[in-house]
């Protein structure tokens, strides 16, 4: 443990010696320049300029400055994360994000004290183009599809209407505060307040994931909070760019507002369709990787990142695009590539997103130490209070409406955790630096930093004790068994049949229609013929096997103490796997087609090979029959 902190201090010393993340304007010439051919100034004759002596050892830091500093920052962040997990009881009390921000504050303060200049900051382009995509891709690829789509209506209700409620409520309320404090805040316009409200309402999925993965709340609450934070970012970024465009116009008319509303819809749907397109192309490409399995995982990352960049290039929602791409291609890619490729994809995504998340929190702390701060007690305190009030009232009002349409109502305890879990993070921090210069920009930056630190430290550290105090339902630790999955699918099938019979086009009806379309067209086109599971039960088994290999490492399955058992050996697991696969395949090799409620199959050989039905004999009839047969044999 002590060695980790020594390494961290050494890295801080190395970073102090670095002039910064951005190269200086004048870069000295390298010692490795080739000799230059030129004319002698005195007689005009040709001369060759050669070095005076051969250097045995030299240092050329500017040649490797950018990659060297990037590696040092990544190493510092990784060592801080490693030290956090070896720090005894600290992880049980302090969230990881809080400790990383504290390390960033310490490093930023040391750099500022030694160099007497502001430490390097995280630029908005670096955040949105390099650090945010891997986190969103990891969240979308491992998104629990069943839970997400079952709660999609509620998630969109919170993400769209809830975000509009928070943006307009915070923006208009802050404008009222500015009108009351004319002396210090009189130069802040209504559009500036709405612009600030759009960025401060952004619930950060990075901070939400970092905190909620440690407290293990139930699956429904987790998907509501995480899904709302994921789609909330897409809405807030679109609204931010909309208000930014309004600020650059000489005047805003009703037609501009109408066109702005249309733009919000186009940006969201455009990102959705771009992600869907690249997801299908990625699935189709993975179908032809059987002879080059080494590069199969590469297409997952390339197509996902390409969907994000294409959306950003077209000024559409990149977050929506990369999430849709990941959700679309997952089931087809997993069926096409090998198990080793699947493992490579899973571990690389986790490693990539973990490094990005760690760097974001480190730089949040480092970038706080700046000379650009401006303080205003009315504005800062009002922003903190309004963020809590408008989010709480929005959750209560929207949940009161949506509970009338849900079978599983969102309880009051869950509503409290949803409202209290609205953590702010790097998204609003990056957006506030993109605001065009005006007199109160420094006040907006200071207020944003205060809100981030308050939500991450105060709310992030107290949410786990509140979950325990309120006795919120926790996550089920054990993975579902094959029997549970089969019964769950049986219930879905029955509910879809009931909805079809009564003529109600509900959730299960459309889900069943999509499954039929997926099985009939998409899977045949996007999955190789030799990789298509011949049995739905076998597909369930393969999916559970992939889940068990992936993880829930931090949540081991609960074992009943009344039935002690040893873990199965690898050869025993292989034997069970072979028996299940062989028996399931042999069962489906029979000439009887599988049952489907959509079509009735007519067996061509039924009339020839089918035996006549015969009533089962009771015990008395069987005894009389056996006795009669015995006496016949005796007489013969």
| Tens digits of residue pLDDT in 265-276 | 999 999 999 999
Q: Is the pLDDT of residue 173 over 90?
A: yes
Counting residues of the chain whose pLDDT is more than 90, the rounded percentage is: 29
d(CA 171, CA 242): 14
Measured CA angle at 622 (ends 620, 624), to 5 deg: 70
What is the pLDDT at residue 582?
55
Q: Of 130, 143, 427, which is closest to residue 301 (Cα–Cα)?
A: 130
Paired tokens of 149: 């789509």
Domains of the chain: 124-359+373-470 (1.20.1530.20), 482-607 (no CATH)
d(CA 203, CA 229): 5
d(CA 67, CA 75): 12
Q: Is the pLDDT of residue 21 over 50?
A: no
What is the pLDDT at residue 478?
62
397/371: higher pLDDT:
397
- Least confident range of 11-25, 480-494, 497-511: 11-25
Sign of torsion over alpha carbons 136, 140, 142, 148 = positive
Per-residue exposure over 103-124, b if at least 16 CB sit within 10 Å of its own CB, e if not: bbbbbbebbbeeeeebbbbbbb
pLDDT band at 302 (very low <50, low <70, confident <90, very high): very high
Residue 474, beta-bridge partner list: 217
Task: Measure the CA dihedral 339/353/13/2, to 10°.
Answer: -60
Which H or E run includes 316?
none
What is the pLDDT at residue 124?
85
Please report the DSSP string for 427-439 in residue order.
HHHHHHHTSPP-T
pLDDT band at 619 (very low <50, low <70, confident <90, very high): very low
Counting residues of the chain whose pLDDT is more than 70, the rounded percentage is: 74
279/69: higher pLDDT:
279
| Tens digits of residue pLDDT in 321-380 | 999 999 999 989 988 998 889 889 989 998 998 899 888 888 888 888 887 788 899 999
565/512: higher pLDDT:
512
Measured CA angle at 36 (ends 33, 38), to 5 deg: 165
d(CA 244, CA 229): 22
What is the pLDDT at residue 545?
66
Phi/psi for 353 (5° steps) reads -70, -35
Q: Is the pLDDT of residue 623 over 90?
A: no
Contact 232, 207 (CB under 8 A): no
Contact 163, 230 (CB under 8 A): no
pLDDT band at 532 (very low <50, low <70, confident <90, very high): low
What integer is the mean pLDDT of 526-541?
Answer: 67
């Amino acid at each position: 443990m002590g060695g980790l902190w020594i390494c961290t201090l050494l890295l801080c010393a190395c970073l102090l010696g670095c002039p910064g993340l951005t190269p200086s304007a004048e870069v000295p010439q390298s010692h490795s320049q080739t000799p230059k051919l030129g004319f002698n100034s005195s007689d005009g004759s040709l001369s060759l300029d050669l070095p005076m002596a051969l250097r045995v050892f030299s240092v050329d830091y500017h040649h490797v400055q950018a990659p060297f500093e990037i590696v040092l920052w990544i190493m510092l962040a990784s060592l801080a994360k490693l030290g956090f997990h070896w720090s005894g009881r600290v992880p049980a009390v302090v969230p990881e994000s809080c400790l990383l921000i504290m390390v960033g504050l310490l490093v930023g303060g040391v750099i500022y004290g030694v160099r007497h200049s502001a430490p390097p900051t995280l630029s908005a382009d670096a955040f949105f183009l390099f650090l945010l995509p891997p986190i969103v891709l990891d969240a979308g690829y491992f998104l629990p599809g069943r839970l997400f789509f079952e709660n999609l209506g509620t998630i969109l209700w919170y993400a769209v209407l809830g975000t509009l409620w928070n943006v307009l409520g915070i923006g208009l309320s802050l404008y009222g505060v500015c009108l009351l404090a004319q002396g210090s805040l009189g130069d802040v316009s209504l559009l500036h307040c709405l612009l600030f409200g759009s960025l401060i309402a952004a619930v950060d999925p990075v901070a939400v994931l970092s905190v909620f993965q440690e407290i293990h709340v139930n699956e429904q609450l987790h998907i509501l909070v995480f899904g709302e934070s994921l789609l909330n970012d897409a809405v807030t970024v679109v609204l931010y760019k909309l208000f930014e465009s309004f600020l650059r116009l000489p005047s805003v008319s009703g037609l501009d507002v109408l066109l702005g509303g249309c733009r919000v819809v186009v940006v969201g749907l455009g990102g959705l369709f771009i992600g869907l397109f690249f997801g299908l192309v990625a699935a189709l490409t993975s179908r032809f990787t059987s002879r080059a399995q080494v590069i199969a995982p590469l297409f997952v990352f390339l197509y996902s990142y390409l969907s994000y960049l294409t959306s950003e290039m077209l000024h559409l929602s990149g977050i929506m695009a990369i999430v849709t791409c990941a959700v679309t291609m997952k089931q087809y890619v997993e069926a096409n590539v090998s198990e080793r490729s699947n493992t490579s994809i899973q571990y690389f995504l986790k490693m990539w997103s973990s490094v990005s998340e760690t760097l974001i929190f480190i730089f949040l702390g480092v970038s706080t130490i700046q000379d650009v701060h401006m303080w205003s007690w009315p504005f800062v305190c009002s922003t903190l209070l309004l963020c809590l009030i408008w989010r709480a009232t929005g959750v209560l009002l929207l949940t009161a409406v949506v509970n009338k349409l849900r079978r599983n109502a969102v309880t009051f305890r869950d509503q409290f955790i949803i409202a209290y879990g609205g953590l702010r993070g790097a998204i609003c921090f990056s957006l506030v630096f993109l605001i065009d210069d005006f007199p109160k920009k420094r006040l907006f930056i200071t207020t944003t930093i205060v809100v981030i630190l308050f939500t991450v430290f105060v709310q992030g550290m107290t949410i786990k004790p509140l979950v325990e105090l309120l006795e919120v339902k926790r996550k089920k630790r054990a993975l579902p068994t094959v029997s549970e999955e089969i019964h769950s699918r049986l219930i879905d099938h029955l509910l879809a049949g009931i909805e079809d019979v009564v003529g109600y086009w509900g959730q299960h009806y459309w889900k069943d229609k999509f499954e039929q379309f997926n099985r009939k067209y998409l899977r045949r086109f996007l999955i190789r013929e030799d990789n298509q599971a011949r049995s739905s039960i076998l597909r369930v088994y393969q999916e559970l096997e992939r889940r068990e290999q992936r993880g829930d490492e931090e949540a081991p399955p609960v074992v009943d103490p009344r039935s002690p058992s040893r873990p199965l050996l690898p050869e025993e697991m292989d034997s069970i796997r072979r028996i299940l696969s062989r028996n399931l395949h042999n069962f489906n090799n029979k000439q009887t087609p599988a049952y489907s409620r959509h079509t009735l199959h007519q067996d061509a050989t039924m009339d020839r090979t089918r035996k006549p039905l015969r009533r089962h004999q009771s015990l008395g009839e069987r005894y009389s029959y056996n006795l009669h047969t015995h006496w016949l044999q005796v007489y013969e």
